[in-house]
Amino acid sequence: MKHPERTIAQQKKFLIKIVLLQLFFSFLFLFFCTICNAAAIAVSPSSLYYEDVQRNTTIEDIITLFNPNNFPVEFQYFNQSGFLEVIYDEEENQEDNQDINGSIDHHIPVFGSIQVPIQLTINEDIANGIYEDYLLFRFITQDKEDSLGLTAGIGIKVTFVVNDNQIVDFSVYKAVVTDTEVNSMLQLQIGIENTGNVVIQPIYSLSIVDDKNNTILDEEQNLSLQPYKQQEFIFYYNTTNLMPGKYAAFVSLIEEDQENKLLFEKELPILLLPEGTFRRSGLLEQFNITSLSVGKNSKLSAIFLNNGSLIADAKLSVEVYIDDQLLENLLSEQFLVEKNEKKELVAYYTPQEYGNYRFNARIYYNKKETNQKEIFASLKNNYLSFFTGNSVALGGGIKLNAIEIIVLLIIIIVIAWYLARRK
């Protein structure tokens, strides 16, 4: 015997399946059609090469962009190292749109092309050598509301060889290391004068050994110095876990090329003294707080004076109390402060409630702490500033873009699937 109720239920399930299939294929159709709106652009030439370039010169060239699409396309340009510059200007009847990144949107007509002038500027202090730069183009359709907002991009590699008369000459007028204690900071200074006409970029190499020639530290850093300039480079090294005694620092400058030519080398004796040999002294001179409001970030700043005989590794500590109950202990970043110098140390705090606040500030340095300073503040309702956000009003009908339609279809599919399961 047939059950008409079961037959009706089966028919409902069959209809729901048909609807789900229709929604699924509609989703695929919409997705692939939307992707097709992404721009495909060609560029010529694909790379540029300039040989025997002179310093303090400018090279101009032309790049052609092609739009094979049946819709207009906008493009933006970006540069990495700063040698290249696009000097393209639109026609007077075409408007450029500047985005939040400072890039300019330019237009390429349907099935058309445009020529983009570029300019390569060679600095007067650049050294001889081979340099590479990249000019990046990003493309997007003008009709952004009807697409997923997908963009296409392409890069043009620009290579240029600087071959000009150059003078590479420099001298090291200072190379000193300051004796210090164990468990404190070791300071090494190198003073270099560049008497040549190009930028020099030597590799600074340091090796510290103990009295038994055991290597304690090995490191390298790239330096850079403008022509006709003097500059002192200061390096700091932690002596934590080292024993008092005699050490040696081998300092060298190396030319970064295939041969790694040695330009300068010197051995500096180091004497690490027992902890407590030098005087440690510091002072918290000032402690200030900007305007204090509930829910608003406030700046807590302190001025630290290092009047001791060692480099200080200083850190601000602020205890926050409300109605004499400790809420939080704030810490600033840790900074190195030279002898007889001052440094501003900063922490931030956001009050979450009203009440009577007390801020106790001190500075920790070299396993010591400074004097303490206090600030009292009372937060009440009438001192609170209110801030309102922007509201959005919808009206005049609803206009959905592709992404919103896809999300809506997914929601419909999920609801239909859930109803089918219940049946």
* For the chain, percent of residues with pLDDT exceeding 90: 37
- 147: Cβ–Cβ under 8 A, 6 or more apart, which residues? 34, 37, 38, 141, 402
Confidence of residue 423 (pLDDT cuts 50, 70, 90): low
Confidence of residue 375 (pLDDT cuts 50, 70, 90): very high
Shared domain check, 132 and 106 = yes
Domain assignment of residue 54, yes or no:
yes
Domain assignment of residue 32, yes or no:
no
Shared domain check, 157 and 266 = no
pLDDT digits (tens, 9 = 90+) for 294-317: 888 999 999 999 999 999 999 999
Shared domain check, 287 and 232 = no
Domain-ending residue, one of 162, 180, 202: 162
Shared domain check, 58 and 146 = yes
* For the chain, percent of residues with pLDDT exceeding 70: 72
Shared domain check, 245 and 204 = yes
Is 27 within 8 Å of 409 (Cβ atoms)?
yes
pLDDT digits (tens, 9 = 90+) for 217-227: 999 999 999 99
Mean pLDDT for the stretch of residues 82-104:
49
pLDDT digits (tens, 9 = 90+) for 378-398: 887 644 332 322 222 222 334
Domain-ending residue, one of 140, 162, 184: 162
Domain-ending residue, one of 229, 248, 273: 273
- Position 80 pLDDT exceeds 70: no
- Position 144 pLDDT exceeds 60: no
Least Cα distance to 158 among 133, 125, 130 occurs for: 133
* DSSP code at position 285: E
Shared domain check, 200 and 267 = yes
Query: Is 36 or 161 the better-scoring residue by pLDDT?
Result: 161
Domain assignment of residue 7, yes or no:
no
Domain assignment of residue 202, yes or no:
yes
- Position 47 pLDDT exceeds 70: yes
Shared domain check, 175 and 154 = no
- Please, what is the end-to-end C-alpha distance for the chain in angstroms? 22
Torsion of CA 375, 376, 382, 388, to 10 degrees: 40
Q: What's the pLDDT at 255?
A: 82
Q: What's the pLDDT at 28?
A: 55
| Alpha carbons within 13 A on the beta-carbon side of 151 | 13
Instruction: Dump strand ranges (E) for 195-340.
Output: 203-210, 215-222, 229-238, 245-254, 262-273, 282-289, 298-306, 312-322, 325-331, 335-337
Shared domain check, 315 and 263 = no
Pairing of strands 215-222, 185-194: unpaired
pLDDT digits (tens, 9 = 90+) for 325-336: 999 999 999 999
Confidence of residue 405 (pLDDT cuts 50, 70, 90): low
Domain assignment of residue 16, yes or no:
no
Q: What is the CATH number of the domain that holds 227?
A: 2.60.40.10
Domain assignment of residue 362, yes or no:
yes
Tokens at residue 355, please? 């009440």
Domain assignment of residue 59, yes or no:
yes
Shared domain check, 132 and 74 = yes
> How far apart, in Å, are the Cα atoms of 339 and each of 278, 280, 307?
12, 10, 6
Q: What's the pLDDT at 124?
A: 84
User: 44 burial class (0-12, 13-18, 19+ CB within 10 angstroms)?
Assistant: exposed
Confidence of residue 7 (pLDDT cuts 50, 70, 90): low
Confidence of residue 27 (pLDDT cuts 50, 70, 90): low
Query: Is 12 or 189 the better-scoring residue by pLDDT?
Result: 189
Q: What's the pLDDT at 10?
A: 63
**Number of folded domains in the chain?**
3
Query: Is 280 or 155 the better-scoring residue by pLDDT?
Result: 280
Shared domain check, 48 and 152 = yes
Domain assignment of residue 378, given as a range = 282-383
Tokens at residue 241, please? 């876990």
Mean pLDDT for the stretch of residues 135-159:
65
Domain assignment of residue 395, yes or no:
no
Average pLDDT along the chain: 79
Q: What's the pLDDT at 188?
A: 94
Q: What's the pLDDT at 102?
A: 38
Shared domain check, 183 and 130 = no
Shared domain check, 269 and 317 = no
Mean pLDDT for the stretch of residues 71-78:
75
SS3 204: strand
